[in-house]
């Protein structure tokens, strides 16, 4: 099987020849890996060997790109105008500053912190149709498909809840959910306009799958109560997925944490792939049992417990256990639950790949 055949099989809940393996690494861990293994050995972990995906999504407009820098430790949003040595400002006006370790960043300035519903109209939201926004062409997408790759589109940034609090500030947006519903609804509507524009482009490109990301939960509960999530955020997602359907059959939703309370809502919204199945707070086997016929589970390996703190044997056991509980019948992509962190031992990282190769082929025994 090539990668397209593999994904088309597993996403239809049938068993392909092998399980794709999706590993995310923090920039700091990649530096550590490169220093210890060298460039030649890094080829063994190429995504072409383990995942076979090509990405198609928005980037910063040409005008902004001429003014900005790219700095990987900013992780999610490493493209922006440098404010000082440790701070960049993205095209939305949000500023992020590197932490003391200089391995990741935090939001330190939110441009809509002091806005109200009326002044929100004065803020210039990013244009989904700006020159240079989508640099991949439909012909390039078709070429990737012909070469056997699975083509995945995305929005380039987190979606409604996260992008809203980056713009407004976490504390203030949380207050707004209760005290300022007019502002929240207007802000979500403005964001929806941007995402709908990008969604239309992705449909036109002919991507196989679209990914949406929005961290709405902690390890113990939802950040936004299910009631408020359904009031403000779910309707926006429904409008967005209505644009993607029926041209895009496979829609993936990512949120860290325990989102079990809204999984039925996600299915109702036409989401059919769930990521990252964080085993520190969600039992992958339970999800497979409850939703395995409607959702493809994507992820399942702990980056905060087993990988950094377990033994090589622990890592192998977790990979084996996750495959045995989630892979039968298809509908499963093995992967890390987030970025592999700098404190992860190299031997555990290697053991994860070795176990994926050993146990990740069908039939599952």
Domains of the chain with CATH codes: 3-58+134-359 (3.20.20.210), 60-113 (no CATH)
Q: Are 209 and 150 in contact (CB under 8 A)?
A: yes
SS3 call for 320: helix
Query: Kind and range of the H or E element at 68?
Result: none
Helix (H, G, I), strand (E, B) or coil at 63: helix
Q: Identify the DSSP state of 34.
A: H
- 160-168 and 170-179 are packed helices; what angle lies between their axes, rounded to 10 degrees? 110
CA atoms of 299 and 297, how far apart (whole Å)? 7
- Residue 215's pLDDT is 96
Q: In this predicted structure, what is the pLDDT of residue 77?
A: 63
Question: What's the CA gap between 21 and 83, in Å, rounded?
Answer: 38
Q: How far apart are CA 56 and CA 205, in angstroms?
A: 8
Using DSSP, state whether 118 is helix, strand or coil.
coil
pLDDT of residue 314: 98
What does pTM read for this prediction?
0.96
Q: What are phi and psi of 211, to 5 degrees?
A: -105, 135
Please name the residue that has the structure tokens 């072409």.
48
Rg (CA), the chain: 20
User: Hey, which bits of the chain come out as E strands?
Assistant: 21-25, 53-56, 69-70, 79-84, 87-89, 95-98, 105-109, 150-153, 209-213, 250-254, 273-275, 296-301, 332-340
pLDDT of residue 78: 67
Locate 131 and state its tokens: 């020159």
The CA distance from 14 to 21, in Å, is 17
For 242, the 3-state DSSP assignment is helix
CB neighbours of residue 358 within 10 Å: 12
The structure tokens 């999800």 sit at 287
Q: Is 203 exposed, middle or buried (0-12, 13-18, 19+ CB in 10 A)?
A: middle
Coil, helix or strand at residue 283: coil
Amino acid 75: pLDDT = 54
Per-residue pLDDT of the chain (365 residues; tens, 9 = 90+): 999 999 999 999 999 999 999 999 998 899 999 999 998 999 999 999 999 999 999 999 999 999 888 776 665 666 889 999 889 999 999 999 998 888 888 999 999 999 999 999 999 999 999 999 999 999 999 999 999 999 999 999 899 999 999 999 999 999 999 999 999 999 999 999 999 999 999 999 999 999 999 999 999 999 999 999 999 999 999 999 999 998 999 999 999 999 999 999 999 999 999 999 999 999 999 999 999 999 999 999 999 999 999 999 999 999 999 999 999 999 999 999 999 999 999 999 999 999 999 999 999 97
């Amino acid at each position: 099987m090539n990668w397209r055949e593999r994904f088309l099989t597993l996403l239809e809940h049938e068993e392909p020849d092998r399980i794709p393996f999706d590993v995310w690494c923090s920039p700091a861990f990649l530096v550590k890996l490169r220093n210890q293994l060298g460039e030649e050995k890094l080829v063994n972990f190429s995504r072409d060997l383990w995942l076979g995906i090509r990405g198609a999504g928005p980037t910063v407009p040409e005008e902004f790109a001429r003014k900005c820098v790219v700095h990987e430790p900013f992780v999610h949003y490493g493209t922006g105008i440098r404010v000082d040595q440790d701070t960049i400002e993205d095209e939305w006006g949000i500023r992020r500053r590197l932490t003391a370790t200089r391995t990741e960043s935090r939001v330190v300035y939110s441009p809509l912190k002091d806005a109200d519903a009326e002044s929100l109209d004065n803020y210039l939201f990013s244009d989904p149709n700006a020159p240079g926004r989508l640099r991949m062409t439909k012909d390039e997408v078709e070429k990737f498909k012909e070469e056997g790759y699975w083509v995945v589109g995305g929005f380039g940034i987190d979606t409604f809840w996260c992008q809203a609090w980056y713009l407004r500030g976490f504390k203030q947006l949380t207050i707004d959910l209760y005290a300022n519903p007019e502002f929240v609804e207007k802000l979500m509507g403005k964001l929806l306009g941007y995402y709908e524009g990008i969604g239309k482009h992705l449909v036109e490109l002919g991507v196989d799958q679209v990914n949406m990301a929005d961290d709405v939960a902690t390890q113990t509960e939802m950040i936004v109560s299910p009631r408020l999530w359904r009031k403000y955020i779910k309707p926006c997602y429904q409008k967005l997925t209505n644009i993607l359907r029926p041209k895009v059959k496979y829609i993936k939703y990512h949120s860290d944490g325990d989102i079990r309370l809204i999984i039925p809502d996600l299915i109702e919204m036409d989401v059919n792939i769930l990521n990252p199945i964080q085993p520190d707070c969600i039992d992958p086997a339970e999800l497979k049992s409850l939703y395995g016929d409607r959702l493809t589970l994507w992820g399942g390996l702990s980056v905060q417990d087993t990988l950094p703190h377990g033994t090589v044997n622990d890592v192998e056991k977790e990979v084996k256990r996750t495959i045995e509980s989630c892979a039968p019948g298809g509908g499963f992509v093995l992967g890390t639950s987030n970025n592999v962190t700098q404190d992860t031992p190299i031997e555990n990282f290697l053991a994860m790949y070795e176990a994926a190769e050993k146990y990740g082929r069908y039939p599952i025994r």
